[in-house]
Structure 1
Amino acid sequence: MKRVVVTGLGAITPIGNSATDFWQSLINGVSGAAPITKFDTSKFKTKFACELKNFDPLNYLEKAEARKYDLFTQYALIAVEEAIKNGNINFDHLNKNRIGVIWGSGNGGIGTFQQQVTEFAQGDGTPRFSPFFIPKMIVDIASGVISIKHGLRGINYTTVSACATSNTAIIDALNYIRWGKADMMITGGSEAPINESSIGGFNASKALSTLNDNPQIASRPFDINRDGFVVGEGAGAIILESYEHAVKRNAPIVAEIVGGGMAADAYHLTSTHPEGEGAYLGMLAALEDATITVNEINYLNAHATSTPQGDNSELKAIERVFGKENKLNISATKSMTGHLLGAAGAIEAIACIKAVQQDIIPPTVNSVDIEPEFKDVFDLTLHNAQQREVNYAMSNTFGFGGHIATTIFKKYNS
């Protein structure tokens, strides 16, 4: 089976508009939560989110190009451009028939959908929809636009598995390269869910924190006082290549991806299994795929959204896999970024890749009163980053519908 390596990273996030800035904010414990500026929240239960900061699409895209795309596609294009640049990629010197795109998004163009339908509902009944309405809204359009922009004619599609989406995309991309169906894959995910529909919908399901008086500490995974997650937006892009292809073009290899596991909770529409059954199976499947033991994992980036049942069920599953005597560092980077939904797995994969590259564990911030059942079982890397050798890092993602996807990254050694 072919080795698969990581050669390019790109990110646009609530705590940094590049992969480097994102990582620096992570290890410095910066929170991206603040009052929502995108719409009037006066009648909403939750009035804050993790928005992008100092973002203007025209700093990255031509005006005519930006008008054609929903924010989630804009974010995708921006992150991908950075990953291509960091990977020293010139597509004109490569076989574009063997380069593909598998891109994830849970909500696609929900902002476009809301805007167009609202305008119709408030009108006189005459359908004056934009000709760009459907292509801006459909969830698969970002992967199509990426391939069109760069003339990439390989495998191209979109994964949707709610908040497990971009890890699912990464696993699919890994496997197509392993199987010899592609030399290089652009993968990751993007999400633009900070609008009335998303915030209102998540409020209705009682999923969001309502700590409006102090939003910066609202995302507090594992804390007994947590009251829900914080919505985030942005994108993460990862370039995967076969080892042979990367070496041949003298690519800057930053890590190796060695495992991916998927499973299902088969339990509830929105809640995780109380004992973390799917999470347990997904982690085991990833370890088996990577052909390593539990003792070889040094760092685990937890899904840990800061919801009462979700955090506990994941820790139960982790304890079941790694045991009480584990030497594992765990952190919940959503405490800083918020929850990027379908893009969460992509930026958290980047956190894992940076961890194995630099031997630094990003912290879990905001969490003070840890669940008593687990506070002496795990090192949750509270408050401050830790330096330690990181040879293998695991990333968990779980989605509404019971979807589970776990990836494993390894320090690169030629």
Structure 2
Amino acid sequence: MKRVVITGAGTINALGHDVATTCAAMREGRSGIGPLDIRDADRLSIRIGGQVTGYEAEARFNRQQIALYDRYTQFTLLAAAEAIGQSGLSFEGELAARSGVVLGTSGGGLTTQDENYRAVYEEGKNRVHPFIVPKLMNNAACSHVSMQYNIKGPSFTVASACASSNHAMGQAFWFVRSGMAPVMVTGGSESMLCFGGIKAWEGLRVMSKDGCRPFSANRNGMVQGEGAGIFVFEEYEHARARGAEILAEVVGAAMSSDAADIVMPSKQGAARAMRGALADAGLAPETIGYINAHGTGTAANDKTECSAVADVFGAHADRLMISSTKSMHGHAIGGTGAIEALACLMALREGVIAPTINYDEPDPECALDVVPNEAREARVEAVLSNAFAFGGLNAVLAFARV
């Protein structure tokens, strides 16, 4: 088995358009959630979100590219440029032939889909752009990263709702660890903050109208976000041989299925995924210092997750720090695990634990150290990142300091 390290990271999300800005916001406990600026927002009952602001596609892409790139693909390419640029890799020859791209998304080009439904059904148009299918397909972002960087190895897209990017990163990790690929570009992206995307989520009645308060007794639902997180996973000796900066090591991954309910989470399923990640990494529970929680801010998720953590970690659960950065950037659905992995890197590299902001009232069913409201300095050697999706699909990653 090969060791797997991270040599590049990139992002764009509600907290910032790059990793440095995002981590600064997490350290400051700053919220990126605010009023939505989208068409027909006045027809929505939910009018807040973790929207990427200060972003103009025309400033980053030309007209021909915009005709091909949905907003979620644009986010992916911007984050990939930062991650691959930081890694210093150039994909040529054997490296290009064997390296791959595995990305997660839930909705894919949902903004494109929404706009074209409007054109056909509301405006009565009988023609759409000839590239609508390749623009909205879930593998569009993966394909464009592959083409732009000449990456010719195993490449595909994972769609498992809110666990999509964790599933993708787990697959990428196993590709590199097994020796099948020396480098994998991985992570996830989502842009569901369009009228149809929000209206669909409203129907579930799990959304908050006023803010995301994970683990707090007065929490009243999740808040949608958007954005991308992209990473370069590289075989350790390959990275060392070229003198690359190593951000952290990926040491374990596990996946489980609740096989229980399409929307209600299962403590047993979540616990199996966490135990599996620890076993895959060869780590004892006591070595974990921090967990980036799924922490959606819904009543069901938060208490179920805390109960699962208590089951897995026993007495050590009282010494664990566990926080939800969704309180700051919102729930970016298929891209959320990738954005949240940045908090894991920050904990390992900088010794700063991102807080759970908007924490108002302790909940006896969430009686863990949720790092309330303010970031904390703490040295941790290993961390977990949780993702638990609708459909009962769970994916947990383990990262460690190198």
- Whole-Å separation in 1 of the counterparts to 2:194 and 2:344: 29
Deviation, 1:224, is: 1.5
Q: How does 1:394-409 map to 2 (within 5 A)?
A: 394-409=384-399
Q: After the TM superposition, which of the residue ranges 88-97 and 278-287 deviates more from structure 2?
A: 88-97
RMSD: 1.2
Structure 2 runs not aligned, ≥5 long = none
Amino acid of the structure 1 residue aligned with 2:119: E
* 1:167 corresponding residue in structure 2: 166
Aligned counterpart for 1:303 among listed residues 274, 291, 294: 294
* 1:98 corresponding residue in structure 2: 98
* 2:136 corresponding residue in structure 1: 137
Q: How many residues align?
A: 401
* 2:272 corresponding residue in structure 1: 281
Deviation, 1:105, is: 0.4
Q: Is the 8 A contact 2:306 2:365 kept in 1?
A: no
Q: Normalising to structure 2: TM-score of the pair? A: 0.97
Amino acid of the structure 2 residue aligned with 1:323: G
Deviation, 1:58, is: 3.1
Aligned counterpart for 2:305 among listed residues 292, 308, 314: 314
- Whole-Å separation in 2 of the counterparts to 1:193 and 1:43: 16
* 1:366 corresponding residue in structure 2: 358
- Whole-Å separation in 1 of the counterparts to 2:348 and 2:255: 22
Once the two structures are superposed, residues 13-58 of structure 1 have per-residue CA deviations (whole angstroms, 9 ceiling, x without a partner) of 1011101110110110010111110122222111111101211123
Aligned counterpart for 1:294 among listed residues 271, 285, 289: 285
Deviation, 1:92, is: 3.9
Percent identical residues: 35
* 2:339 corresponding residue in structure 1: 347
- Whole-Å separation in 2 of the counterparts to 1:65 and 1:249: 33
Q: How does 1:11-410 map to 2 (within 5 A)?
A: 11-92=11-92, 95-124=95-124, 127-211=126-210, 218-273=211-266, 276-326=267-317, 327-375=319-367, 378-410=368-400
* 2:5 corresponding residue in structure 1: 5
Deviation, 1:7, is: 0.1
Deviation, 1:59, is: 3.2
Deviation, 1:67, is: 2.5
More helix by share: 2
Q: After the TM superposition, which of the residue ranges 81-90 and 158-167 deviates more from structure 2?
A: 81-90
Once the two structures are superposed, residues 362-382 of structure 1 have per-residue CA deviations (whole angstroms, 9 ceiling, x without a partner) of 11100111212333xx21111
Amino acid of the structure 2 residue aligned with 1:400: F
Q: Is the 8 A contact 2:302 2:366 kept in 1?
A: no
Q: Is the 8 A contact 2:183 2:235 kept in 1?
A: yes
Amino acid of the structure 1 residue aligned with 2:380: V
Q: Describe the SS at the equivalent of 1:147.
A: helix
Q: Is the 8 A contact 1:357 1:411 kept in 2?
A: yes
- Whole-Å separation in 2 of the counterparts to 1:173 and 1:370: 38
Deviation, 1:197, is: 1.1
Cα 1:349/1:189, change in 2 over 3 Å = same
Amino acid of the structure 1 residue aligned with 2:214: P
Cα 1:223/1:98, change in 2 over 3 Å = same
Q: Is the 8 A contact 1:360 1:390 kept in 2?
A: no
Q: Is the 8 A contact 2:254 2:280 kept in 1?
A: yes
Q: Is the 8 A contact 1:88 1:252 kept in 2?
A: no
Q: After the TM superposition, which of the residue ranges 86-95 and 301-310 deviates more from structure 2?
A: 86-95
Deviation, 1:93, is: 7.4
Once the two structures are superposed, residues 210-240 of structure 1 have per-residue CA deviations (whole angstroms, 9 ceiling, x without a partner) of 22xxxxxx10001111111000010000100
Structure 1 runs not aligned, ≥5 long = 212-217
Q: Is the 8 A contact 1:5 1:253 kept in 2?
A: yes
Q: Is the 8 A contact 2:7 2:247 kept in 1?
A: yes
Once the two structures are superposed, residues 385-406 of structure 1 have per-residue CA deviations (whole angstroms, 9 ceiling, x without a partner) of 1111111010000111001000
Once the two structures are superposed, residues 325-345 of structure 1 have per-residue CA deviations (whole angstroms, 9 ceiling, x without a partner) of 432111111010100000011
- Whole-Å separation in 1 of the counterparts to 2:74 and 2:366: 40
Deviation, 1:151, is: 1.2
Q: Is the 8 A contact 2:34 2:49 kept in 1?
A: yes
Once the two structures are superposed, residues 100-136 of structure 1 have per-residue CA deviations (whole angstroms, 9 ceiling, x without a partner) of 0001100001111111122111344x63021111001
Q: Normalising to structure 1: TM-score of the pair? A: 0.95
Q: After the TM superposition, which of the residue ranges 169-178 and 88-97 deviates more from structure 2?
A: 88-97
- Whole-Å separation in 2 of the counterparts to 1:43 and 1:181: 50
Deviation, 1:323, is: 1.5
Q: Describe the SS at the equivalent of 2:302.
A: helix
- Whole-Å separation in 2 of the counterparts to 1:347 and 1:263: 21
- Whole-Å separation in 2 of the counterparts to 1:238 and 1:14: 18
